[in-house]
Amino acid sequence: MVETRGAKAARSGGVDPLGVPLAKAAETSRLAGVLEQSFGYQSVRDLLEHYPRRYLTRGELTDLAHAKKGAVVTLTGTVKHLVKKQPRRNLRILEIRVADAAGSGVWSCTWFNQPWHGSRLPVGTLAAFSGKLEWRSGRLTMANPGYEVLRESDEAEGFANEVIAVYPATKDVSSGRLRRVIGQLLDHHGPLPDFLPERLRQAHRLVGRAEAMEVIHRPPDLAAADRARRRLVYDELLVLQVGLALRRRAISDGEGGHPLRSDGPLTEQLLASLPFTPTKAQDRAMAEIGEDLARSRPMHRLLQGEVGSGKTLVSLHMLLAAVQSGFQGALMAPTEVLADQHFINLRALLDGLDQAGRTTDSPTGDGRLFDFAGPRIEVLTAATTGAARERLLAAVAAGEVDILVGTHALLSEGVDFQRLGAVVVDEQHRFGVHQRVRLREKGDNPHVLIMTATPIPRTLALTLYGDLDVSTLDELPPGRHPVATHLVAGDPALRERAYQRVREEVAASHQAYVVCALKDESDKLEIRSAKAEAERLRTEVFPDLRVGLVYGDMAAREKEATMNAFRAGELDVLVSTTVIEVGVDVANATVMLVEDADRFGLSQLHQLRGRVGRGTAPGLCILFADPASDEGRARMDAIARISDGFELANEDLRIRGEGTVFDARQSGLSDLKLARLIEDFEWVTKARADAFRLVEDDPNLAAAEHRALRAEVLLRLGDDRAEWLSRG
Ligand code: ADP
Ligand code: MG
């Protein structure tokens, strides 16, 4: 179990008055076990940050007489009668009759196989019920309604308040119970310390923290709840951004980097030899990077751009800037398939350069002539072994290799560069911050470019990568068509039609991917596995086609052989797990089938479909999925409807919320309890500006007015993520 912040604070010696363990607080001692089990809460602070999901107001209630039949309504009433029935062995029905509080009649509520509601709603309980009101067997009935107990027989809470907080609840702990316990905590554990510097509070006209905490749980009206929320949202975002500002300072602080020239013979040749004209976005990115490289402060920049937006050119341009300045460059990819792919692509681009025998001015400007024999590029992966590996490492150490491509094996012991000046990391989200730091130590403070094909909404980039500068390729090379995406649910005829489309594409000399969620068969889940699917396609569906199989942990050589065969057009259909997700570039592939598509994330699906239609022929992507949940359906609908990666990412964030974003824990996004990055974008930018200014002025948060904030940052970000702070 992950230690919560409250527990951390308690351990660190009661810095935080709210760090009291739930088991030790009188109000919660009896509930502590349930709260830990249901929500993972350990301290009073954890529970106080269990914010209401919504509010129930007297105004939104209707009475039975005016309630619209067939619509979802909220009604209040008193439980008059309760029966339990068990018509079948596995079916238990709970039915209650409720008398409308307005005195206009009686209706029924029923629950199936959830008998525990009975004990929460004994006869005499006053509660608000929300659900669809329908006629059933001659009675007005709500099936499985949500409800909020307003008054138990011995308690007078009721609608004394105009507004009642409704909490996320579980089977073991109801919203009403949470409301009462949180109320008791608020009464006995105040006042809450306010860590916000007064000038910021005033600048944004925010209420005090203690008041915000009180009001969010027990608002006099909705407007007050809103003001409380605004204050707490700002707090969450500010602390997160202060953490990022500190990290950024630690990473790119100081001098010690080497200026590189991004205009020189190699980059010139590269641009002159291209078979195409760079897009405006590529030009802009190369210029932004060029400016950074010219400085002695090492660059830390994120290059984000959709699959196919042409990141390779931008990265090679940077690597060549290093080479023509007398340094080495490295490119690090997350998988071997990708490392090989990059190597092949870069080498193809370098082949256009004809530098052998040419001389030019020395990069150091000392007047000597400098001989470029043409940059030497090599690849290092797990497949590089024995004497070949020894030779390669020696050449790297001697500075004979100009550009080294590889997996994170590049970070391992024994890989020593002579003068590493520029590093490109592909697909940032698979590398942690620590690996980034390690990479930087490999070289002589190299400039670092991180590339990602996962489009990130701007608001998220500011929080997730707040410590990096960002360049965006927001434009695809001309002539690209969005990949037509279709969803196929259970219909076997449509599946047959999809296979027919594959045959048609192959007949037109194109190729196809079939992507599966799993490698091996699983008996528990009904998921098509890559291995079984390859077998089935080979023998039953496409006996006349050449079907290959590739998955992540296959032997490196075998994987390489299969990928090469597919590239060379010796295979028609490639069945795979998501090893092909990123970077695989086979322009001749035009159709992709994805099995169990709802098991993939939206950004993953978007990347996957970017693999087809890379050439001039339009791409087609067919998703097989029959999602059971609303969320699943919303996601599948989004991917079929939206072709722009940034828009899709926004939609994904809207559907799933920020806690589920990759890297959420490490980035601190999981600390966001109230803030919603899209809706609260305005506050994201405000908090960011405040945080960066604050850290600029007071890097160690040592000023008296920043001490409380410092404690909060340490507490919230934990030992790992606040390491930059403690260092100072
Ligand atoms: P990414 O890595 O961003 O997914 P790539 O760099 O692999 O994209 O480029 C995708 C394809 O587009 C490659 O075949 C590349 O040669 C081509 N390409 C890149 N830039 C351009 C451009 N400006 N005009 C036309 N084609 C381009
Ligand atoms: Mg790429």
Q: Is the distance from the beta carbon of residue 453 to the nearest atom of ligand 1 less than 6 Å?
A: yes
Residues 477, 144: Cα–Cα separation, whole Å: 53
> What pLDDT, on the 0 to 100 scale, is given for residue 335?
81
CB distance 409 to 415 below 8 Å:
yes
User: How many angstroms is it from 553 CA to the middle of ligand 1?
Assistant: 28
Any idea which ligand is nearest the CA of 333?
2
> What pLDDT, on the 0 to 100 scale, is given for residue 357?
41
What whole-number percentage of the chain has pLDDT above 70? Answer: 84
Residues with CB under 5 A from ligand 2 (ion): 583
Residues 580, 577: Cα–Cα separation, whole Å: 7
Residues 185, 36: Cα–Cα separation, whole Å: 16
Residues 176, 164: Cα–Cα separation, whole Å: 10
For residue 591, the Cα-to-chain-centroid distance in whole angstroms is: 27
Q: Quickly state the pLDDT bin for 4 (edges 50, 70, 90).
A: low
More confident residue, 109 or 673: 109
**For residue 6, is pLDDT > 50?**
no
Q: Is the distance from the beta carbon of residue 116 to the nearest atom of ligand 1 less than 6 Å?
A: no
> What pLDDT, on the 0 to 100 scale, is given for residue 14?
43
More confident residue, 170 or 440: 170
User: How many angstroms is it from 336 CA to the middle of ligand 2?
Assistant: 14
**For ligand 1, atom 26, which residue shows the shortest CA distance?**
477
Residues 374, 350: Cα–Cα separation, whole Å: 8
Kind of pairing between the strands at 54-57 and 163-166: antiparallel
> What pLDDT, on the 0 to 100 scale, is given for residue 71?
81
Q: Is the distance from the beta carbon of residue 285 to the nearest atom of ligand 1 less than 6 Å?
A: no
> What pLDDT, on the 0 to 100 scale, is given for residue 459?
67
Q: Is the distance from the beta carbon of residue 308 to the nearest atom of ligand 1 less than 6 Å?
A: yes
Residues 89, 684: Cα–Cα separation, whole Å: 54
Across 246-273, average pLDDT = 83
Q: Is the distance from the beta carbon of residue 310 to the nearest atom of ligand 1 less than 6 Å?
A: yes
Identity of the highest mean pLDDT range in 85-89, 155-159, 397-401, 650-654:
397-401
More confident residue, 163 or 98: 98
Q: Is the distance from the beta carbon of residue 175 to the nearest atom of ligand 1 less than 6 Å?
A: no
**For ligand 1, atom 19, which residue shows the shortest CA distance?**
310
Any idea which ligand is nearest the CA of 306?
1
**For residue 158, is pLDDT > 70?**
no
Alpha-carbon dihedral of residues 43, 45, 46, 50, nearest 10 degrees?
140
What's the whole-number average pLDDT of the chain? 84
Across 460-489, average pLDDT = 82
**For residue 696, is pLDDT > 60?**
yes
CB distance 126 to 160 below 8 Å:
no
Residues 562, 530: Cα–Cα separation, whole Å: 14
pLDDT tens, position by position, 222-231: 999 999 999 9
**Lowest-pLDDT range of 114-123, 205-214, 499-508:** 114-123
> What pLDDT, on the 0 to 100 scale, is given for residue 102?
76
> What pLDDT, on the 0 to 100 scale, is given for residue 371?
52
Degrees to nearest 5, angle at CA 160 with 159 and 162: 65
Across 26-42, average pLDDT = 90
**For residue 188, is pLDDT > 70?**
yes
Q: Quickly state the pLDDT bin for 319 (edges 50, 70, 90).
A: very high
**For residue 356, is pLDDT > 80?**
no
> What pLDDT, on the 0 to 100 scale, is given for residue 331?
95
Residues 208, 712: Cα–Cα separation, whole Å: 16
**For ligand 1, atom 9, which residue shows the shortest CA distance?**
310
Q: Is the distance from the beta carbon of residue 475 to the nearest atom of ligand 1 less than 6 Å?
A: no
> What pLDDT, on the 0 to 100 scale, is given for residue 52?
95
pLDDT tens, position by position, 60-95: 677 788 888 888 888 888 999 999 999 888 889 999
> What pLDDT, on the 0 to 100 scale, is given for residue 504?
96
Residues 636, 644: Cα–Cα separation, whole Å: 15
Domains and CATH numbers, the chain: 58-166 (2.40.50.140), 265-473 (3.40.50.300), 484-643 (3.40.50.300)
Q: Is the distance from the beta carbon of residue 312 to the nearest atom of ligand 1 less than 6 Å?
A: yes
Q: Is the distance from the beta carbon of residue 313 to the nearest atom of ligand 1 less than 6 Å?
A: yes
In DSSP terms, 127 is beta-bridged to: 77, 149
Q: Residue 51 gets which letter from DSSP?
A: -
The number of the ligand 1 atom at minimal distance from the alpha carbon of 309 is 3
Residues 357, 352: Cα–Cα separation, whole Å: 15
> What pLDDT, on the 0 to 100 scale, is given for residue 18?
80
pLDDT tens, position by position, 110-119: 999 888 888 8
Radius of gyration of the chain (CA): 30
Across 395-419, average pLDDT = 90
- C-alpha pair distances (Å), 61 with each of 64, 216, 431: 10, 21, 51
More confident residue, 636 or 434: 636
Identity of the highest mean pLDDT range in 454-458, 466-470, 563-567:
563-567
> Ligand 1 pocket check: which of 303, 313, 471 to mutate, most ligand atoms within 8 Å of Cβ?
313
In DSSP terms, 78 is beta-bridged to: 99, 126
User: How many angstroms is it from 417 CA to the middle of ligand 1?
Assistant: 29
Residues 538, 9: Cα–Cα separation, whole Å: 59
Sign of CA dihedral 176, 181, 187, 192: negative
